[in-house]
Each structure stands twice: as structure tokens, then as C-alpha cells.
């Protein structure tokens, strides 16, 4: 199985060398510039960029995990995650480089994938930088937010506006991706040679394998922290580990975003044969597909995403509690559709995690009271005889509102709320009100891993990072004894490129 792989001294030296390079940022605008049917040539150049850029980010993750504070680095699960990143680094750095013939170089706008047309010019690129400044991505506020800094923050979105004291101009110029950009325009009306598609497939297959390997990173690191807590006989995570995990997971979101986007672009890349087949089968490209550029939806319908999250959360709740039907979740939204540019996968994750919390709180807060009411009406009735399906729980409300700066979603429940002294704890990792944290089997199948109803204590802190990644936020207000309101603020990424009229 995967046990034969080991992190050799030579590989560790190579990883530490790559970790000294500065990362090259990829803007959201670059990600969207590929369009719904990307040119195979643009994907080819982007694949070269990815194969050079991702090892830098993976190397930083390995180095960071090696120096995780207070012995967290020594936990078996932490070591497992570190080795995943090291193995992925090795696979990318050993991929064969493409051979670019003069004919292919000419098709690639004459640059052959070299630096000439891919240098980031401060003057011509200043519009892109202004666009990014508007997003208020937390990685732009590294001096303000101590949880995110330029050592760990490989979010792949923000163009850094400050100097990095760790990196001299020498080390900057030595970076394999120095002067290059993720997106480069290439013609779409040409027949690309086979080697372009072959290299795109090679990189895509490597990224797909890497993405699958890292699917369980969040849960496995959660187990690593749990191991650390048991060893140190503590019930809470200290501030330094909390800060480390914030940085670790924020950087992971960026790496996953870049890998996921590139895989999705590969699936959508323009192929003459594919285009003809699609035209025959579908007539024209469907509107839903034309709204997507990779994993980014340029016209993301918030109401539809909320409905999907509601159905998924209710299903998990019904399975967990043995219910025929979960408590009602009312969706309250304006009659007109609210749409904006966003990553639907991020949004459904945040809503799903928040709704799971509300459903669990509602059931567990009201179940004893509702059972007591039934028993008071019928003194002969025993608590064990009451079926949970006979209880009527108060509804949860999901309210969507649209403003000029952001889209806000409020999830409002009557689940009893949280004590005021415990509210800060809900943002810490491994804080949970579940008595027993789910344990992962040593060699479980990552592809079949199903999110538990509750127990890891990662739902809210990770969801807040997803919100902050694109300049939004997640906030919570509680009324102990009554319920909780969670506010999800979604930044309207850029008025300059907003797809809505």
C-alpha cells in the first residue's frame, strides 16, 4: 500500500531548498480569464506554471509541519500529513518536462512557455492589483491578523503589496516561477499538436492523484491535534497551536483551490472533437456550463446553493438521529434571484456545516422538553416509549439578503444558544460539545469518508476561513436559553468584473 514510501535525506534537502523560494500569487482574475472553454495552449502553459509553483507551496507545508509548536509535529497523524505533502512534492518535481518544438513555440504566441510574455509588469498589471485590493482577502492584512502571515499564507489569490523580509531579491529571482503568470492568452482557433494534450493529461492525472491523497487532511490533522491533547492531558488548544492551525488551513484552502481549478479547466479545455460532439448532442453549450470557469461560477445563485445545503444537512441529520424527517428549515429570500461570482463548493460547505450545528442544537435542546410535555399529559407514558419522530421541533430559518458590498446569509435557530463564556471557544479547533470525538481508522478509505454529524470541532473555524478567504466573514451571536444567529457575509468579489447587470 502506501507504507513503502519514505522521506529520504536527499528529498528533505530538496524540499527545504524549495521552501526558501517565494511563492508567485495567482489572482482570481487570472483564474477566470481562461473562459468556459479554455484554449489547450493556455492550459499547457498553466500546467508548466503549476508544476513549478505547487512544489514551492508543498515544500512550505512540509517545513511548517516539521516545526509545528509544542510537539504537535511529533504526533503520528501530523507525521502522516507531512509525508503526504512530501510525497506530492516528489511526484510533481519528477514529472518529465515537455519538449517544445519550434512549431509549438510559434503556436504559443512565439514564447514557447518562456518568461518573455509571462512577466508580471507592474504597469500593465496594476488593474489586476487594484481588483485584488478590493477583495479584502485576509492575506492582504497580514500585519493586522496575526493568524495569517507571509510565511504560511499560500492562498494563491492575493498579490502581495508588501516586501517579504525573509526573501532577498536573489532568492526571489531564483524561484522557478519568478516572472511567470498562471494565465497566458493563446489562440483558440488552431489545431494543437498531440504533445499539448499529452502534457496537459500528464499534469492533470498527477494533480488528480495528489488531490485524492489530501482529501482527508483536515480530519487527519484533527486527529493529530487530538493525539496532542491526550499526550499533554489538556482539553483545549493553546493560542500558538490555534494560530498555527489557522495558517495551515488557510494555506491548504489556497492549494486546493489552485489544484481544483486546474483540474476543472482541464476537463473543460477546448477540443475540436469534443466541441463537435457537444454540438451534436446538446445543440449549443448549456447556459449552466457557460457560467463556470473551472470551479468558479460567474453567476452563482445563492438561493439554489442554500437549497442544496439544506437538503444535504437534513439528510445527514435524519440518518444520525433516525428521523423520518429532520426539523423544518425555512428559506427566506427575495423574490428575485441573488447571483454573484463565487466558488459554489466553498459556499455549500459553509452553509452545510452551519446548518448541521443548528439542527443538532435544535433537536438536543428541545427533545427533553418535548418529551416531558408529552409525559405530563399522559402520566402512564414512559420516556423510553416516546418516538423522536412524534416530536415537533421549532423551525430553523435561513435568511438571504443582498447589499451593495456583500451578500449576507443568517442562519437562525432556537437551539438553546451558547453560554457567553463559551462563545470564543467555538472558533478554536477541537472544541466540541460531543462527548466522543469520531476516530479515523488507521487505513480508512479516504474517498468514502463521510462527514459526521458532529464531533471534530472543525466545522465553524474552517468555515470562517473559507469565508475570509474571499474577503467575507462568519460571525455568531447567541442568546443562551433561546438560540443562536450565525451571520455569513460573502464579499461581492469585484464590482469591476461583476457579471450581473
**In terms of domains, do 222 and 324 share one?**
no
Domain containing 245 — which CATH number? 1.20.140.20
Residue 282: pLDDT band (50, 70, 90) is very low
Is 309:60 a contact under the CB 8 Å cutoff?
no
The predicted pLDDT at position 219 comes to 86
Q: Take residue 450 and report the three cell numbers written for it.
A: 463521510
The predicted pLDDT at position 429 comes to 83
**In terms of domains, do 379 and 243 share one?**
no
**Is the per-residue pLDDT at 489 higher than 80?**
yes
Indicate yes or no: pTM above 0.85: no
When mean pLDDT is compared across 226-240, 286-300, 359-373, the lowest value belongs to 286-300
**In terms of domains, do 306 and 270 share one?**
no
Q: Take residue 44 and report the three cell numbers written for it.
A: 499547457
- Stretch 82-90: mean pLDDT: 96
**In terms of domains, do 244 and 333 share one?**
no
**In terms of domains, do 362 and 229 share one?**
no
Q: Take residue 127 and report the three cell numbers written for it.
A: 488593474
The predicted pLDDT at position 270 comes to 61
- Stretch 362-384: mean pLDDT: 88
Which segment, 188-197, 360-369, 432-441, 467-476, is predicted with the most confidence on average? 360-369
Which segment, 1-15, 224-238, 317-331, is predicted with the most confidence on average? 317-331
The predicted pLDDT at position 341 comes to 87
- Stretch 378-396: mean pLDDT: 88
pLDDT tens profile 235-276: 777 888 989 999 999 899 989 999 999 999 998 876 555 545
User: Which residue segment(s) compose the domain that 434 sits in?
Assistant: 295-491
**In terms of domains, do 335 and 255 share one?**
no
pLDDT tens profile 135-168: 444 433 333 443 333 333 333 333 233 334 444 4
Asked whether residue 151 is assigned to any structural domain, the reply reads: no
Residue 432: pLDDT band (50, 70, 90) is low
pLDDT tens profile 216-236: 998 899 889 989 988 988 877
More confident position, 455 or 325:
325
The predicted pLDDT at position 210 comes to 97
- Stretch 488-501: mean pLDDT: 54
Q: Take residue 334 and report the three cell numbers written for it.
A: 427575495
Asked whether residue 115 is assigned to any structural domain, the reply reads: no
**In terms of domains, do 337 and 269 share one?**
no
**In terms of domains, do 484 and 402 share one?**
yes
- Percentage of the chain modeled with pLDDT above 70: 75
How far, in Å, are 67, 72, 75, 223, 426 from residue 79 at the CA level?
A: 11, 9, 6, 11, 26
Q: Quick one: which of 396, 277, 403, 264 has its CA closest to 329? A: 396
Asked whether residue 501 is assigned to any structural domain, the reply reads: no
Residue 320: pLDDT band (50, 70, 90) is very high
- Stretch 404-422: mean pLDDT: 94
Residue 64: pLDDT band (50, 70, 90) is very high
- Stretch 382-386: mean pLDDT: 82
**In terms of domains, do 197 and 82 share one?**
yes
Asked whether residue 119 is assigned to any structural domain, the reply reads: no
Domain containing 314 — which CATH number? 3.30.565.10
Q: Quick one: which of 340, 385, 389, 339 has its CA closest to 363? A: 389
Asked whether residue 70 is assigned to any structural domain, the reply reads: yes
Which segment, 112-121, 264-273, 350-359, 428-437, is predicted with the most confidence on average? 350-359
When mean pLDDT is compared across 146-150, 473-477, 486-490, the lowest value belongs to 146-150
Query: What's the mean per-residue pLDDT of the chain?
Result: 79
Q: Which helix (H) or strand (E) holds 315?
A: helix 302-321
Q: State how far the Cα of 237 lies from the Cα of 217, in Å rounded to an integer.
A: 18
The predicted pLDDT at position 401 comes to 95
How many residues does the structure list for the chain? 501
**In terms of domains, do 217 and 346 share one?**
no
The predicted pLDDT at position 463 comes to 93
**In terms of domains, do 301 and 252 share one?**
no
- Stretch 115-124: mean pLDDT: 40
The predicted pLDDT at position 150 comes to 33
What SS3 state is found at 413? strand
- Stretch 184-198: mean pLDDT: 88
**Is the per-residue pLDDT at 443 higher than 60?**
no
Asked whether residue 203 is assigned to any structural domain, the reply reads: yes
The predicted pLDDT at position 177 comes to 82
Q: State how far the Cα of 294 lies from the Cα of 31, in Å rounded to an integer.
A: 8
Q: Quick one: which of 467, 498, 472, 137 has its CA closest to 339? A: 498
Q: Which of 206, 241, 274 is the last residue of a domain?
A: 274
Domain count, the chain: 2
Contacts of 438 (CB under 8 A, 6+ apart): 452, 455, 456
**In terms of domains, do 200 and 316 share one?**
no
The predicted pLDDT at position 456 comes to 55
The predicted pLDDT at position 9 comes to 92
Q: Which helix (H) or strand (E) holds 296?
A: strand 296-301
Residue 329: pLDDT band (50, 70, 90) is very high
Q: Which of 223, 245, 274 is the last residue of a domain?
A: 274
**What phi and psi values does residue 108 have, to the nearest 5 degrees?**
-80, 45
Q: State how far the Cα of 361 lies from the Cα of 479, in Å rounded to an integer.
A: 13
Q: Which of 244, 274, 304 is the last residue of a domain?
A: 274
When mean pLDDT is compared across 384-398, 399-413, 453-467, 471-485, the lowest value belongs to 453-467
Asked whether residue 447 is assigned to any structural domain, the reply reads: yes
Asked whether residue 286 is assigned to any structural domain, the reply reads: no
Amino acid at each position: 500500500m502506501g507504507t513503502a514510501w519514505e522521506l529520504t535525506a536527499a528529498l528533505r534537502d530538496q524540499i527545504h531548498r524549495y521552501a526558501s523560494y517565494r511563492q508567485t500569487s495567482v489572482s482570481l482574475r487570472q483564474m477566470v480569464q481562461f473562459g468556459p472553454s479554455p484554449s489547450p495552449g493556455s492550459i499547457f502553459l498553466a500546467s508548466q506554471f503549476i508544476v513549478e509553483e505547487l512544489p514551492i507551496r508543498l515544500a512550505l507545508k512540509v517545513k511548517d509541519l516539521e516545526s509545528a509548536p509544542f510537539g504537535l509535529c511529533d504526533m503520528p497523524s501530523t507525521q502522516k500529513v507531512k509525508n503526504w505533502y512530501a510525497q506530492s512534492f516528489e511526484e510533481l518535481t519528477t514529472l518529465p518536462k515537455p519538449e517544445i518544438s519550434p512549431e509549438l513555440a510559434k503556436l504559443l504566441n512565439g514564447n514557447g512557455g518562456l518568461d518573455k510574455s509571462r512577466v508580471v509588469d507592474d504597469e500593465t498589471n496594476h488593474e489586476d492589483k487594484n481588483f485584488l485590493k478590493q477583495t479584502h482577502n485576509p492575506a492582504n492584512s497580514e500585519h493586522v491578523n496575526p493568524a495569517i502571515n507571509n510565511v504560511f499564507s499560500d492562498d494563491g489569490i492575493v498579490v502581495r503589496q508588501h516586501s517579504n523580509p525573509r526573501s532577498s531579491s536573489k532568492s526571489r529571482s531564483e524561484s522557478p516561477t519568478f516572472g511567470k503568470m498562471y494565465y497566458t492568452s493563446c489562440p483558440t482557433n488552431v489545431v494543437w499538436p498531440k504533445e499539448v494534450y499529452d502534457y496537459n493529461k500528464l499534469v492533470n492525472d498527477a494533480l488528480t492523484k495528489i488531490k485524492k491523497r489530501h482529501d482527508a487532511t483536515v480530519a487527519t490533522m484533527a486527529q493529530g491535534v487530538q493525539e496532542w491533547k491526550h499526550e499533554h492531558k489538556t482539553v483545549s488548544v493553546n493560542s500558538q497551536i490555534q494560530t498555527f492551525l489557522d495558517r495551515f488551513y488557510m494555506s491548504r484552502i489556497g492549494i486546493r483551490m489552485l489544484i481544483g481549478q486546474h483540474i476543472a479547466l482541464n476537463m473543460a479545455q477546448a477540443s475540436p472533437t469534443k466541441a463537435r460532439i457537444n454540438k451534436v448532442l446538446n445543440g449549443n453549450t448549456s447556459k449552466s456550463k457557460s457560467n463556470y470557469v473551472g470551479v468558479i461560477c460567474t453567476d452563482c445563485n445563492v438561493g439554489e446553493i442554500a437549497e442544496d445545503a439544506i437538503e444535504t444537512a437534513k439528510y445527514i441529520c435524519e440518518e444520525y438521529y433516525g428521523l423520518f424527517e429532520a426539523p423544518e428549515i425555512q428559506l427566506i429570500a427575495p423574490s428575485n434571484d441573488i447571483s454573484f461570482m463565487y466558488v459554489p463548493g466553498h459556499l455549500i460547505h459553509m452553509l452545510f456545516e452551519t446548518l448541521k450545528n443548528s439542527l443538532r442544537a435544535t433537536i438536543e435542546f428541545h427533545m427533553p422538553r418535548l418529551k416531558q410535555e408529552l409525559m405530563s399529559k399522559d402520566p402512564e407514558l414512559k420516556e423510553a416509549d416516546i418516538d423522536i419522530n412524534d416530536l415537533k421541533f421549532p423551525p430553523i430559518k435561513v435568511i438571504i439578503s443582498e447589499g451593495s458590498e456583500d451578500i449576507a446569509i443568517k442562519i437562525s435557530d432556537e437551539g438553546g444558544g451558547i453560554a457567553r463564556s463559551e462563545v470564543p471557544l467555538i472558533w478554536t479547533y477541537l472544541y466540541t460539545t460531543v462527548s466522543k470525538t469520531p476516530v479515523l481508522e488507521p487505513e480508512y478509505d479516504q474517498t468514502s469518508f463521510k462527514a459526521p454529524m458532529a464531533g471534530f470541532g472543525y466545522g465553524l473555524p474552517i468555515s470562517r476561513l473559507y469565508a475570509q478567504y474571499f474577503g467575507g466573514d462568519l460571525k455568531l451571536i447567541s442568546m443562551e436559553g433561546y438560540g443562536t444567529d450565525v451571520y455569513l457575509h460573502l464579499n461581492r468579489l469585484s464590482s469591476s468584473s461583476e457579471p450581473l447587470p
